[in-house]
Structure 1
Amino acid sequence: MTPPAARYATVATPPGPFTVVVTDEPPGPVVLASGWTEDVAELLPVVHRSLRPTWVERADGLPVLDTVEAFFAGDVTAIEEVPVRQRSGPFLEDAWDVLRTVPAGAPDTYTSFAARCGRPTAVRAAANACARNAAALFVPCHRVLGSSGGLGGFRWGTSVKRQLLDHEARYAPVAAA
């Protein structure tokens, strides 16, 4: 099966330009990759080869950009329902699903994240899932911290990770006591 064509667009965000690559699948656009770059060529290599589009075209005004803007306007839960498609082995795919359950404003550690994934001793595998995540922001790997509480790594830089965490801490819904 030939991977479909895709569209991409870039929007300005406080940490810098953010580009999203989507493919159209029913019922609407599905995110294949995203990150803090203006260069779509930086995103395509992280898309699994079975999903990597044969060509991409710029498409200003993608609806998913409204979601990104809503997130940065303070609706930090806006990203939760955006469809994402990533492929890899079963652990990574499950881990990416679990990442989407880490609430804004309540970051996990790699150790806790590994436990959430059902493999409490697989801390390195959990960190690898974060490192290999192609859909930054929508699969919020920035919400996982080093076990000592440090930022750990982030493909788009720890300064971007810090800005995202601070933004979410400011706007995250407060749990009822």
Structure 2
Amino acid sequence: MPSNNAPPERLTLDRLLTPIGTALLVTDEEGVLRAFNWTDYEPAMLAWIGRHYPKAKLVEGRSPAAVRDAFEAYFNGAAGALESVPWKASGTPFQLKVWEALCSIPAGETLSYAGLAERIGRPTAMRAVGHANGANPVAVVVPCHRVIGANGSLTGYGGGLPRKRWLLGHEGAPFKDRIAA
């Protein structure tokens, strides 16, 4: 994590080919992940960066080796490889609390929205937890894909349900797949 709370002056945008599309990794000067998304959501991610880091210069380049290597290891089968990736997200105190709690869900496990709300001490805040989950700017590292419905079924995912299905299957996590009739 950065040693201060000053906003980054420079952000580097890296593109990484994965089995489920090209990932966008945005890191700051200290090698901390500030944003993650997929190329099909690039315009929305760039708009988000512009709102949260308006003074930062965004340049195309390569992520630090530790970050890139962790993502490559994850997509090559090491489900826990992203746990070491440093991240910092811009969000409300409630969102940050939810995102920290998401990091307590290990690879290969899932949790319901109700379970996540209980984990942060707000058992009736399931909807707010869902909104915070959906606003996560550093997906996969902050594993919002590990949150599923109370009945074990797949629920929405910002990167699309096919990616969520792949990520959970890749990690060996249990879930009920909704098959279209």
1:89-142 per-residue CA deviation (whole Å, 9 max, x = no partner) reads 211111101101101111101111111111111100111111000001110000
Q: Give runs of aligned pairs for residues 42-57 of structure 1, distance below 5 A.
A: 42-47=44-49, 49-52=51-54, 54-57=56-59
1:25-50 per-residue CA deviation (whole Å, 9 max, x = no partner) reads 3xxx1111101216744323334844
**Structure 1 stretches lacking a partner, 5+ long:** 171-177
CA distance in 1, matches of 2:52, 2:113: 28
Query: 2:10 aligned to 1, 5, 21, which one?
Result: 5
**Structure 2 stretches lacking a partner, 5+ long:** 1-5, 174-181
> Could you say if the C-alpha distance between residues 2 and 102 of structure 1 is closer, same or farther in structure 2, counting changes exceeding 3 Å?
closer
CA distance in 1, matches of 2:160, 2:131: 16
Q: Is the aligned partner of 1:60 residue 2:50?
A: no
Q: What is the DSSP-based 3-state SS (H/G/I as helix, E as strand, rest coil) of the residue aligned with 1:95?
A: helix
Percent identity over the alignment is 35
Deviates more, 1:91-100 or 1:49-58: 49-58
> Could you say if the C-alpha distance between residues 61 and 129 of structure 1 is closer, same or farther in structure 2, counting changes exceeding 3 Å?
closer
Aligned-pair distance for 1:74? 1.4
Aligned-pair distance for 1:151? 1.2
- Name 1:30's counterpart in structure 2: 32
Deviates more, 1:41-50 or 1:94-103: 41-50
TM-score by length of 1: 0.86
TM-score by length of 2: 0.84
Kindly indicate whether the alpha-carbon contact (under 8 Å) linking 2:8 and 2:29 is maintained by their aligned counterparts in 1. no
| Aligned pairs, number | 167
Q: What is the DSSP-based 3-state SS (H/G/I as helix, E as strand, rest coil) of the residue aligned with 2:39?
A: coil
Kindly indicate whether the alpha-carbon contact (under 8 Å) linking 1:21 and 1:31 is maintained by their aligned counterparts in 2. yes
One-letter identity of the residue aligned with 1:36: W
Please provide the CA RMSD for this pair. 2.0
1:49-88 per-residue CA deviation (whole Å, 9 max, x = no partner) reads 4435532111135321211110011111111121111122
- Name 1:85's counterpart in structure 2: 88
Kindly indicate whether the alpha-carbon contact (under 8 Å) linking 1:76 and 1:168 is maintained by their aligned counterparts in 2. yes
